[in-house]
Amino acid sequence: MAKMSVFLPEDFNCHPRLKKMHITNRLESIEKGNIDWATAEAMALSSLNHEGFNTRLVGEDSERGTFS
């Protein structure tokens, strides 16, 4: 499930810097077992979405970039 939090469809055009920062680096940390808070939050949200729950980012967390 952890790798699903950084999954990008092949037809999705992602900016190279964003891909390196949020996909490649995060995937490497997951594979090493070195999961930080931001990765854990992304995993939690992706697992809830995968199970069919709706999620919404609001308030201070979305404003200060906790989920970025």
What is the domain extent for residue 63? 37-68
Looking at residue 13, its amino acid is N
Q: Which of helix, strand or coil describes residue 45?
A: helix
**Is residue 17 included in any domain, yes or no?**
no
**Is residue 63 included in any domain, yes or no?**
yes
**Is residue 68 included in any domain, yes or no?**
yes
Say how many domains are in the chain.
1
Tell me, what's the pLDDT at 53?
93
For residue 8, pLDDT over 60 is answered with yes
Phi, psi of 46 (to 5 degrees): -65, -35
Mean pLDDT score across all residues of the chain: 79
For residue 11, pLDDT over 80 is answered with yes
pLDDT digits (tens, 9 = 90+) for 18-46: 888 778 888 888 888 888 887 888 788 88
**Is residue 1 included in any domain, yes or no?**
no
Q: Which distant-in-sequence residues (6+ apart) come within 8 Å of 61 by Cβ?
A: 67
